[in-house]
Amino acid sequence: MKHWHGNVLALGLLAGMGLSAAVPTGRIVATGVGVAVHESELDAAYRRYVMTQATLGVNVSPLIEKTIQKQLLNDLIMQRLLGRRAQAGDRAKSEVEAGKKFNELKSTFLTDDAFHLHLESNGMSSPDFLKQLRVELLADTVARRELQSKVQAKESELLKFYNDRNAKGQWNVPEQARVAEVFISLVNPATNLRLNPDARAKKQATATKVFGKASVGIDFKQLVKEFSENPLTKQTDGEFLLLAGQGEAKVEKAVFALKVNQVSQPLESKVGFHIVKMLEHKAARKKGFAEVRTDIREHLQAKAYGKALPDYFKRLKKESGVRILVTELAD
């Protein structure tokens, strides 16, 4: 379940799209106490939105331009209204969160240069992007603080949610095992077809050889490195997590029957031979209420938070006398 205080301020907060121009120009499209959104700011936000969607392979139709602009304008208004209500603690918290978020996003790129080039391709510099993250997270922090008392979930609600989902099996955890495997393929990678009988016999001989080496105590990681033909698990010394129901039934049954540190004889599946070492085995179980209580609370609070936001925004705009001065952008 996602944490309840994730960004919830609509389209403009999903990639810095609410970023305003350095020096606002043009007519004012929205005004109110502490609010003045210029046409240039809305235009910049819309351009960046379109550019970002393009990087995702999505072309924004001109037919929905006004709809998107309405949403972006609402974001700009709310960022400013919420910013005016910020307390010192809100600013300090959002400053820290913005730095973390910036570094998290940067870490998804292979290099820092690639990250900076991505921002530049969307019309943003790194300092501008970080500044916008601060604005967005400050607005989110203020909204969460002011609505927190209205979104608290009662213990009875947590228990009801747990019991309702328990009846549907949501808290069931399947049997699982952490294993290491030497995999000997029976499929030609070029044709994706099973090997002919002679080639299969050679592969079986190799699998038997691997099992023999494992049986006399040769390091299993070394056997994976030398013999395994699975490029993915080979990178992790052959280790992976097997959940009940993921593999072929007969192979899976044999694996789960292994004792810890025991190595299986070659197990044949449709795709190859598996020589498996049991590293850790956990029986199927059901998560107790105490184990999922925090997740349930966050889920219910997130739901209540999202439900409370529209009325909260509406009240703030009314209190500040916000007016949309461009007819086609009005609600």
Q: Could you state, in order of their start, the residue ranges of all structural domains in the chain?
A: 11-156+289-329, 172-285
Residue percentage of the chain with pLDDT more than 90: 76
Tell which CATH classification among 1.10.4030, 3.40.50, 3.10.620, 1.10.260 matches the domain 11-156+289-329: 1.10.4030
The alpha carbon dihedral of 59, 64, 69, 72 has a sign of: negative
Report the Cα 208 to chain-centroid distance in Å.
Answer: 42
7-39 tens-digit pLDDT: 334 333 333 444 444 578 889 999 999 899 999
What's the CA gap between 255 and 252, in Å, rounded?
A: 5
pLDDT of residue 299: 96
Q: Please tell me whether the overall predicted TM-score, pTM, comes out greater than 0.75 for this model.
A: no
Tell which CATH classification among 3.10.50.40, 3.80.10.10, 3.40.605.10, 3.40.50.2300 matches the domain 172-285: 3.10.50.40
Give yes or no for a contact between 147 and 8, defined as CB atoms under 8 angstroms apart. no
pLDDT of residue 22: 56
- Res 51 pLDDT > 60: yes
Longest CA–CA span in the chain (Å) reads 83
pLDDT of residue 330: 87
152-210 tens-digit pLDDT: 999 999 999 999 999 999 999 999 999 999 999 999 988 999 999 999 999 999 999 99
The SS3 call for residue 38 is strand
